[in-house]
Chains A and B, each alone.
Chain A
Amino acid sequence: MNYEKNLSIGKVLLGILTTSIFVFLVIPTILAVPMSFTETRYLAFPPEGFSMQWHQQFFTDRRWIEPTIFSLKLASITTVVCLVIGTMASLALVRGVLPGKRVLHLFFLSPMMVPLIVTAFAVYGMFANFRLIGTLTGMVVAHTIIGVPYAILVITANLYRFDTTLELAARNLGASAFKTFMHVTFPLIKPGIIAAGVFCFIESLDELVLVLFLIGTTKLTLPLRMFSEIEFRITPTVAAASTVFIIAAIGTIIALSFIERKEKKIGLKE
């Protein structure tokens, strides 16, 4: 048939385009890996010599380990809180009745639009009043404020194009609102939630400005550590840290895909 042929040419072009984009996405990241094994004390490409010292330093130096653990803890908790609060708010925005919905929607998204330095400067006093400066809780609150816009933006997009007949069916069959959400809605917007979760996690992990103001005097986060390291020289330890994260990320994604495949086997996905 005529349109079959167009289909394959189109598909080939699409394939070529997307492959080149994938390569574009991956190259700078992949550069970080060999750079972390260089013998020199500065970033060099191609790397000169081979040395594990930067990786060693990253894993053994307390001044790298502590910030890393703190950052991971902070990011994980922030992500969970953002997803829960964000999903609830998204549901209210898309399916609920609220006074001044458009304005409210913009308001929820506004932390993304106000320059971080201004936000940090403004909220410092309030955080000090609540004794939140220098605490994990305080940082979670701060990162949630700027993370929720990410969650809302993605999840509302998923909810707008949502086929509600499945939900209606479940409710008509007697399921409670909560159960319907957990077993019907939630699985269907999962791609959105996972995307939102990734954004929140990374945003917290990479965040520097709010941390500068609110971290207090005894703790450090990973980006803060990297930044002061970079002030004086660009050491390969930073590249080593990145390499570690890359490997961890790849591992997590592969693990998640295995779990998803298991779900498919059990027959829950079509």
Chain B
Amino acid sequence: MTRTPFFRCLWIHLLIGLFVVTLAPMSGLDNALAERDHIVVQTWGGKLGEAQQKAFFDPFAAETGIKVIGVEAGVSVGGKLAAMQRSNNIEWDITTGEYQSYNQKYYDNGFFTEIDYSVVTDTQNLVAGSTQKWGVAQYLEGVCLVYNTKVFPEGRQPKSYADFFDVEKFPGPRAMHNWGGPSDNLAIALMADGVAPDDVMPIDFDRAFKMMDKIKPHVKVWYTSGAQLVQALLDEEVVMAISTDGRAKSAISMGAPIKIVWNQSFYYLAYNTVVKNSPMTAAAMKLLNFCNRPEQQAVFTQVIGYTGANKKAVQYLPESLQKEQSTHPANIDRVFNFMMIKNAEWAVDNIEMIDEKWNSWIAR
């Protein structure tokens, strides 16, 4: 080896070192199949996950001694749930933050256990529609119109979805979502055409797409993530948008010159569910009941901005925040639950057909 240069020796040493390093971590096995003594909750990560940890998981652990860990997994939830059931390797005990249409589908495919309402008892103050066979609502996610206050000053402001679709009176680029579940976009189109919310379902596709065709060339941003929407609002890339209230408030707090229109605003409920065959089912039900507590929901709201499903939670918030909540007495009659309009189940039952029609329309 006298002629072998330093470099070649270095390679061999590196190789050996790396293999040693490989063996070392073998001891840190995270075996999901083993009996576990803590609850695993799937969250959507980021600030939302933080809010849940602070408002629910940590206090629950303090009270009951059962540890709760949140797992950041907001992508591929359906695929992962399916994979878990297929191989009977249940990594999660609870899922959070998903809407009714998806959860219903997941439940029909055998991913969730029915909620034990003998354990989850504190449901009397929850907003209508919160208690489902497969889940309990934890917070509201509102859908509303937002507009740029610099482009539309006092007196010339859009006030309804009809205004959103009126490109002559309110010109400029718009943003709408394209992140799946397009039935609300189509519903908004119909509402803009004068259809009452209760008459929107089943969707009259011809009428809805006729409205959408009017506006398609003006929709600059078809956002697929909340962050994309927020960035577009901040960069003033669009003058109007159909947004969620959480993202709108987030953009406002970061300085975006926008205002929320409460008229015709509706909301979705975001549910907690229990995964089928979870080894911690009993404890999970207790946690779900814990999440109903108004004081805790107020903590949640203060971190992330979303309104809690418990109507009493508003009372625990500081004055300044109260007026912004959909469950505030002043607002609660103006907004409606999207899934409670007449024939809302039609949207859930026909989710594939609606998706396909939407994709075909939007991809051209």
Direct A–B touching, Cβ under 8 Å: yes
Binding site for B on A (CB under 8 A): 40-43, 73, 76-77, 80, 117, 120-121, 124-125, 128-129, 131, 133-137, 140, 208-209, 212-213, 216-220, 224-225, 227-234, 259, 262-263, 266, 268
Using A233-B250, A259-B7, A266-B5 as known contacts, say yes or no to A212 and B22 having CB atoms under 8 A apart: no
Stretch of B207-215, B227-235, B259-267, B325-333 that contacts chain A = B227-235
Q: Which positions 26-56 of chain B face chain A at CB distance < 8 Å?
A: 26, 28-33, 40, 44-49
Using A124-B86, A217-B40 as known contacts, say yes or no to A231 and B74 having CB atoms under 8 A apart: yes
A212: B residues at CB distance < 8 A: 73, 75-76, 80
Q: How many A-B residue pairs have CB under 8 A?
A: 137
Complex contact B82–A217 (CB within 8 A):
no
Name the contact of B69 in the complex, choosing from A41, A133, A217 (C-beta under 8 A).
Answer: A217
Between A and B, 9 residue pairs with Cβ closer than 8 Å are: A121-B79, A128-B32, A135-B29, A213-B83, A228-B49, A232-B227, A233-B46, A233-B254, A234-B231
Query: What residue in chain B is nearest A187 (Cβ atoms)?
Result: B8
A217: B residues at CB distance < 8 A: 30, 32, 40, 69, 71, 91-92
Complex contact A219–B76 (CB within 8 A):
no
Complex contact B46–A42 (CB within 8 A):
no
Q: State in angstroms the CA–CA spacing of A219 and B80 once bound together.
A: 16
CB distance from B98 to the nearest CB of A (A): 14
Q: Which positions 212-254 of chain B face chain A at CB distance < 8 Å?
A: 225-227, 230-231, 234, 250, 254
Name the contact of A43 in the complex, choosing from B6, B25, B29, B231 (C-beta under 8 A).
Answer: B231
Give the size of the chain B interface in residues (CB under 8 angstroms): 51
Complex contact A218–B30 (CB within 8 A):
yes
Complex contact B44–A128 (CB within 8 A):
no
Query: What residue in chain B is nearest A136 (Cβ atoms)?
Result: B25
Q: At the interface, yes or no: B321 with Cβ under 8 Å from chain A?
A: no
Q: At the interface, yes or no: B21 with Cβ under 8 Å from chain A?
A: yes
Using A133-B89, A134-B32, A217-B92 as known contacts, say yes or no to A262 and B5 having CB atoms under 8 A apart: yes
The 4 closest A-B pairs by CB, nearest first: A228-B45, A125-B87, A134-B30, A128-B89
Name the contact of B225 in the complex, choosing from A133, A213, A224, A230 (C-beta under 8 A).
Answer: A230
Complex contact B30–A219 (CB within 8 A):
yes
Complex contact A232–B46 (CB within 8 A):
yes
Using A80-B15, A218-B69, A233-B230 as known contacts, say yes or no to A228 and B83 having CB atoms under 8 A apart: no
A224: B residues at CB distance < 8 A: 72
CB distance from B258 to the nearest CB of A (A): 14
Complex contact A125–B83 (CB within 8 A):
yes
Using A42-B254, A217-B91 as known contacts, say yes or no to A135 and B28 having CB atoms under 8 A apart: yes
Using A233-B227, A234-B227 as known contacts, say yes or no to A125 and B86 having CB atoms under 8 A apart: yes
B10: A residues at CB distance < 8 A: 259
| Residues 1-23 of chain B, each 1 if its beta carbon lies under 8 Å from chain A, else 0 | 00001110010000100110110
CB distance from A154 to the nearest CB of B (A): 19
A134: B residues at CB distance < 8 A: 29-32, 91
Using A134-B32, A140-B22, A263-B7 as known contacts, say yes or no to A231 and B89 having CB atoms under 8 A apart: no
The listed residue with most A CB atoms (<10 A of its CB), out of B15, B26, B30, B73, is B30
Query: What residue in chain A is nearest B10 (Cβ atoms)?
Result: A259
A231: B residues at CB distance < 8 A: 44-46, 74, 225-227
CB distance from A150 to the nearest CB of B (A): 19
17 additional contacts (CB under 8 A) given A73-B25, A135-B29, A230-B227: A42-B230, A42-B231, A73-B21, A77-B22, A124-B87, A125-B83, A125-B89, A128-B89, A133-B91, A134-B32, A136-B25, A213-B76, A227-B75, A228-B45, A228-B46, A229-B45, A231-B226
